[in-house]
Amino acid sequence: MSKRFAGKVVLVTGGGEGIGRAAAFAFAREGAEVVVAGRHPDMLHDTVEEIKALGGRASCGIADVTRQGDAGDAGGACDAEAIVAAVVERHGRIDVAFNNVTELGPNQPVAEICESVWGETLAANLTGVWLSMKHEIAHMERNGGGVIVNTASNIGSQGMLPGLGAYAASKAAVSTLTQTAAREYIGKGIRINAISPCPLGRGAKVEEIADTVLWLASDEASYVVGHDLVLDRKTAV
């Protein structure tokens, strides 16, 4: 039986744990060359070694995709730009990108959120996705197309859970950013969607979420564009 991602190169940010790790394993099982990126080397290396032990192909890159370049950086490059460039240099292209870096942040009422927590939460959940998309899209435009899946949250898209205002705002913005970018770039062969899992309650297991990410990234979902797919049971918040 053919594997859906045989010969494809897949970049997974936040690939050292949780949904990102499960997605990395799932893509590898389906024949992809997987590159996991994130801030925690030990977790990333564990993911890579376990994929290899199961016969898959994987490597990793240490990157904080929320970090923006400035004049003091060598070449002014940010981590998101650097990891995309590294994958392209190593494998020639990126066919699929799963942008999955997520910070839940502390549970606090809106008026009690300090500015640093607000900024850090938006940087992790929104700016990191934007920077990743910025450089992934630039490469995919040059390479004739590709697929991007972003992680939003149903707390952002469907309802507000008290105490998670910064998280909800950042994830709702990811959903809107996804829909806007999808309309801007589908004509250039780049298909962009999002998933919205529920981080609390039953929701979906990471393996179930990974299966959905793979479906959105596959040719089976070639007609799905600019969609934020909510992954939870009707009873989940």
> pLDDT tens across 61-87, in order?
998 888 776 534 444 457 999 999 999
**Residue 223 in domain:** yes
DSSP character string of 115-127: HHHHHHHHIIIII
Distance of alpha carbon 39 from alpha carbon 101, whole angstroms = 10
202 has a pLDDT exceeding 90: no
157 has a pLDDT exceeding 70: no
Average of per-residue pLDDT across 35-58 = 95
Helix (H) or strand (E) holding 21: helix 18-29
φ/ψ region of 84 (left if φ > 0, alpha if ψ in -120 to 50, else beta) reads alpha
Whether the pTM exceeds 0.85: the reply is yes
**Residue 3 in domain:** no
**Residue 120 in domain:** yes
Strands (DSSP E) found in 56-201: 57-62, 96-99, 146-151, 190-197
C-beta of residue 70 within 8 angstroms of C-beta of residue 95: no
**Residue 2 in domain:** no
C-beta of residue 53 within 8 angstroms of C-beta of residue 59: no
Residue that wins the pLDDT comparison between 67 and 19:
19
Least Cα distance to 90 among 33, 49, 42 occurs for 33
Instruction: Please tell me the predicted confidence (pLDDT) of residue 194.
Output: 97
pLDDT digits (tens, 9 = 90+) for 127-153: 999 999 999 999 999 999 999 999 998
**Residue 151 in domain:** yes
**Residue 161 in domain:** yes
**CATH number assigned to the domain comprising residue 165:** 3.40.50.720
Instruction: Please tell me the predicted confidence (pLDDT) of residue 236.
Output: 38
Domain containing 37 equals 9-231
203 has a pLDDT exceeding 60: no
Lowest mean pLDDT: which of 38-52, 56-70, 153-167? Answer: 153-167
Residues 6 or more apart from 121 whose CB is under 8 A from it? 103, 105, 166, 167, 170
231 has a pLDDT exceeding 90: no
Give the number of other Cβ atoms within 10 Å of residue 120's Cβ.
Answer: 15
Residues labelled as active-site residues: 167
- Confidence band for 184, pLDDT divided at 50, 70 and 90: very high
**Residue 236 in domain:** no
**Residue 4 in domain:** no
Give the count of domains, the chain.
1
Instruction: Please tell me the predicted confidence (pLDDT) of residue 1.
Output: 52
Average of per-residue pLDDT across 42-69 = 92
C-beta of residue 125 within 8 angstroms of C-beta of residue 102: yes
Share of the chain above pLDDT 70, in %: 88
Half-sphere exposure of 3 (CA within 13 A, CB side): 13
221, two tokens: 């979902």
Instruction: Please tell me the predicted confidence (pLDDT) of residue 44.
Output: 95
Instruction: Please tell me the predicted confidence (pLDDT) of residue 150.
Output: 97
59 has a pLDDT exceeding 50: yes
